[in-house]
Amino acid sequence: MLRITDLRFVYPRAKSATLEAVNAVFEPGRMTAITGPSGRGKSTLLYVAGIMLRPTAGQVIVDDVDTGLLSDASRARMRAKAFGFVFQDAALDSTRTVLDNVTESALYRGDALPGARRRATELLEMFGVELRSSAKPHQVSGGQAQRIALCRALLADPHHLLADEPTGNLDAASAAVVINALRARANAGTTVVVVTHDPNVIAACDREFEL
Ligand SMILES: Nc1ncnc2c1ncn2[C@@H]1O[C@H](COP(=O)(O)OP(=O)(O)OP(=O)(O)O)[C@@H](O)[C@H]1O
């Protein structure tokens, strides 16, 4: 469960708050769309919920832990263990192979690499990414890159899966793969939160949180 209470967020040097008095609960097994006009702070809310950004005021409670009380190192460990993130542009590391991109987070968690590689290969197959393990991100299409990013996010079976416009750059077929994967994770008990303008994503969600 992700619980956000009386959240205020001000970017450094900004004249006004991006988020003010925001309260939200994102529950396990539910898929929520965060919607609203451009610039309203949807991505900022997602990054605060994913403990990438510290709120200026208010609380972010993750599975009963008040994350405001944690050190940066503890927050980073919690992020690596409990969260999966998917971004609009896939954000793969172009210098590393596809397989290494998917398994990278295992290093932060201290997971054994052979097991992580086996799981990564299974996920890539499941999402229809058939590539040599030495393939580099520049050799894959945008749709494949986003499927690879999904595999990376799912590698550790995260409790919380957060996605920022994950279908923004995709054709209909790849968008459907991403939407079905997010829905399946929610059905399996994961908290899924998606910032989106895509009506097909919103239709797949259990509820809409409008900013
Ligand atoms: N790193 C930053 N430093 C300062 N201001 C920022 C930063 N990132 C975002 N902002 C500002 O915060 C506000 C909210 O941005 P955010 O990206 O969260 O909105 P959004 O609702 O996701 O927008 P969009 O739908 O266009 O992606 C915007 O005014 C933006 O310019």
Tell me: the pLDDT tens digits for 148-164? 999 999 998 999 999 99
What ligand 1 atom has the least distance to the C-alpha of 46? Answer: 18
Per the model's pLDDT, the better-predicted residue between 8 and 173 turns out to be: 8
The complex scores an ipTM of: 0.96
Q: What is the pTM of this model?
A: 0.92
Q: At 22, is the pLDDT very low, low, confident or very high (cuts 50, 70, 90)?
A: very high
- Measured by CA distance, the residue closest to atom 14 of ligand 1 is 41
Task: Please spell the DSSP secondary structure of 169-210, one letter per residue.
Answer: T--HHHHHHHHHHHHHHHHTT-EEEEE---HHHHHHSSEEEE
Tokens of 24: 């939200």
Domains in the chain: boundaries: 2-210
Instruction: Please choose from 11, 38, 48, 169 the residue to mutate so as to test ligand 1's pocket, defined by most ligand atoms within 8 A of CB.
Output: 11
* CATH fold for domain 2-210: Rossmann fold (3.40.50)
Compute the average pLDDT of residues 68-81. 94
For residue 110 and ligand 1, the question of a CB distance below 6 A is answered with no
Query: Whole-angstrom Cα distance, residue 66 to residue 114?
Result: 34
**Ligand 1 mean position to 5 CA, how many Å?**
20
